[in-house]
Amino acid sequence: MTSKVTYLGGLRTKNVHLQSGNSFVTDAPVDNNGKGEAFSSTDTVATGFANCMMTVMGIKANGLDYNMEGTTAEVSKHMATDPRRISKIEVIFNFPLEADAKIRKILEHTAQTCPVHYSLHPDIEKAVTFNWK
């Protein structure tokens, strides 16, 4: 088992990663009857996409002797209706250190082939931008 999710009431859940004990809370968004005081479930999906891309790039960067420390990702999630679902995820990566063209190409390809990218429904538009110093 990976995690345990407990419904806290008021459209809020507590999520515990069983191996580490780390936890976070989710809340329904304001536009779906919630308070919007924490990540929503769909926020965690969109953010998880960026986390996955950044992690696999970090793994690859270690082998290329490229330091990704300080790299950031700005995530935007767009929702559709009927049925309510994620329609688009935008991720903008900002790299604080210069990289040559070969490293850029390898890391960008690595990001685009992360497990979450392959796990998301093909109807979800994935707009990923890489801003290199």
CATH of 41-132, one of 1.10.10.10, 3.30.1600.10, 3.30.300.20, 3.40.50.300: 3.30.300.20
What is the Cα 62 distance to its own chain's centre?
Answer: 20
Torsion of CA 92, 95, 100, 106, to 10 degrees: -50
Q: Which of 70, 77, 25, 27 is nearest to 49 (CA)?
A: 77
How far is it, in rounded angstroms, from Cα 60 to Cα 76?
Answer: 25
Each domain of the chain, given as residue ranges in start order, spans 3-32, 41-132
Burial 3-42 (b: 16+ CB within 10 A, else e): eeeeeeeebbbebeeeeeeeeeebbbbeeeebeeebbbeb
pTM comes to 0.94
- Each residue's pLDDT tens digit in the chain (133 positions)? 999 999 999 999 999 999 999 999 999 999 999 999 999 999 999 999 999 999 999 999 999 999 999 999 999 999 999 999 999 999 999 999 999 999 999 999 999 999 999 999 999 999 999 999 9
Residue 99 near residue 132 (C-beta atoms within 8 A): yes
**The predicted structure's pLDDT at residue 72:** 98
Structural tokens at position 74: 């700005």
How far is it, in rounded angstroms, from Cα 61 to Cα 54?
Answer: 10
